Structure 1
Amino acid sequence: MKSVLVTGAKGQLGKSIQKIASDYPQLHFTFADSKDLDITDPKSIAEKLSNKAFSHCINCAAYTNVENSEKEPEKAFKVNSQGVRNLALLCQEQQTVLIHISTDYVFDGEKGSPYLVTDTTNPINVYGASKLEGEQHIQNLMSAYFIVRTSWLYSEYGKNFYKTILQKAKEGADLSVTDEQVGCPTHAENLARYVLDLVVEDRETYGIHHFTDEESLSWYGFAQKILSENNLADKVRLEKAKNYRTFARRPKYSVLKK
């Protein structure tokens, strides 16, 4: 039986993996949140990994606040770059396959067509830059790894766009959403199954992978879909935001192609 360590277990993806873990009886899971395993602390990682014989480590731990990353870049790089380096070193030492979750924000969004795994990266914000550094540490330090880039993750857990739109709509609030960014909304449970299938299938297709739910939408289009799915389209006013601005620059078109 393969033994799998999941870091960042209280995040969207971590909780989604926990939800479907029983569908994978051939795997033995150990779930660790930041209190159990702090990836920025090598000692914390060593205590969890050393001699535990984990075949795989799924790293869901990340600093994901794009706006705050601009204001607190040291925090973003501490987790998304240095923390990943710490994890990569220990996984390589223990011969544990690392499955690391990355982002569409490693691209600048100027290509105008879906990004391939072979396309040149060029992040335009701190969050994307910190995630790219994490990718590079893994590539430089490890021989057996999967880097899985995904985008616009949502689920019933935590804070995400889907839950925010749904809550505001149910409260009867008017909605103003930008159509200036296009990507692929991805349900965390679908990503969880993709990642666990990588473990089960045991194919040594190591390297960078892209996974999304494949339907490309603007944030405005995604909001429309959310309202429609929940029979709220006729009950809420949804308009396109004018002069939409955020503190962090964001890719205009960050659709990922598998």
Structure 2
Amino acid sequence: MSKILVIGAGGQLGQCLKTVAERRGISDIVFPAEQEANILNPDLLNSLLEKEKPAFVINCAAYTAVDKAEDEVELAKAVNETGAENLAHACKANSSTLIHVSTDFVFEGNEVKLLKEDDIAKPINVYGVTKLDGEKAVEAILPEHVIIRTSWLYSEYANNFVKTMLKLGAERDELNIIADQVGTPTYAIDLANAIFDIIASDNKAYGVYHYSNEGVTSWFDFAKAIFGISETNVRTNPIPGSKYPTKATRPAFSVMDKSKIKETFKLEIPYWRDSLVECIDKINKG
């Protein structure tokens, strides 16, 4: 496999890429520390890419604190838009293909329909706006790009919904969970495998793709599955999002159509619940 450089190696997806690379015996891959790969420092990025000469750069670096982004607009914009722009320029200067990770939050999510890549993106929060602007920057600068929009990412690493539910379920007798926001959880290990499959395919079908696990669920049903699989005894109550107001508005329905990525790169995508079983097993084994 061609040489790969991972930006944002310390985050959840970066750690999953490291785990999967080890499992798959991918050795020509570099995971620089954040201070060596600061996407807000164009000169640093350029010298890193000049030194490493990667055929592929995977960008997992992002500002993902959805509610905090409503207050930290400039920071979210700097990381998600300017950072993506800087990286695209560095990739262009060094003839690298960029695999850039984006989000279902670029959509308004007000209709019950599978979201396709060419559907109109109309984000309803600052995080979504900055991620969409990052996509546009990459598209404008670098033709050799694969943008992958994903959703509800979780794993045995970092902070995420699954780990939060397991913690709260162990501490409390009762939890209220939002039942009217619908999407698809994505096991970040599955996404990491998909990214390596895309690189290995040698298919230069550049553009935007959707990737999540298969299936559809609400946050409430996702939580119920987490508690059922982990045998956590906690009472869960479904509530409307209006009963749990957050700073940022979330899409009500953001289930993505994965036909394009499956057909183009011949991917097999696991069902969300099967992947959740695997992840909880990993967490239990520590």
TM-score by length of 2: 0.87
Residue 27 of structure 1: CA displacement? Answer: 5.0
Give the secondary-structure state (helix, strand or coil) at the position aligned to 2:114. Answer: coil
Please give the alpha-carbon distance, in whole angstroms, between the structure 2 residues aligned to 1:31 and 1:126.
Answer: 29
Deviations 1:187-232 (A, max 9, x none): 0000000001111111111100110002211110100110111112
1:96 aligns with 2:58: no
2:238 corresponding residue in structure 1: 240
Kindly report which structure 2 residues correspond to 1:1-258, keeping only aligned pairs within 5 A, or say none.
1-25=1-25, 28-232=28-232, 235-242=233-240, 243-258=243-258
Give the secondary-structure state (helix, strand or coil) at the position aligned to 1:101. Answer: strand
Percent same amino acid at aligned positions? 39
Q: CA 1:123 to 1:163, structure 2 compared with 1: closer, same or farther past 3 Å?
A: same
Paired amino acid for 1:239: N
Please give the alpha-carbon distance, in whole angstroms, between the structure 2 residues aligned to 1:31 and 1:52.
Answer: 11
Deviations 1:17-74 (A, max 9, x none): 1111123335511002322210011012012111432000000000000000001100
Whether the aligned pair in 2 keeps the contact of 1:58 and 1:98 (CA below 8 Å) is: yes
Structure 1 regions of 5+ residues with no counterpart?
none
TM-score by length of 1: 0.96
Structure 2 regions of 5+ residues with no counterpart?
259-286
Residue 2 of structure 1: CA displacement? Answer: 1.2
Please give the alpha-carbon distance, in whole angstroms, between the structure 2 residues aligned to 1:210 and 1:85.
Answer: 21
Q: CA 1:26 to 1:187, structure 2 compared with 1: closer, same or farther past 3 Å?
A: closer
Paired amino acid for 1:220: F
Whether the aligned pair in 2 keeps the contact of 1:110 and 1:251 (CA below 8 Å) is: yes
Q: CA RMSD in A?
A: 1.2
Query: More deviation in 177-186 or 18-27?
Result: 18-27
Whether the aligned pair in 2 keeps the contact of 1:4 and 1:27 (CA below 8 Å) is: no
Give the secondary-structure state (helix, strand or coil) at the position aligned to 1:240. Answer: strand
Specify which structure has the higher proportion of helix: 2
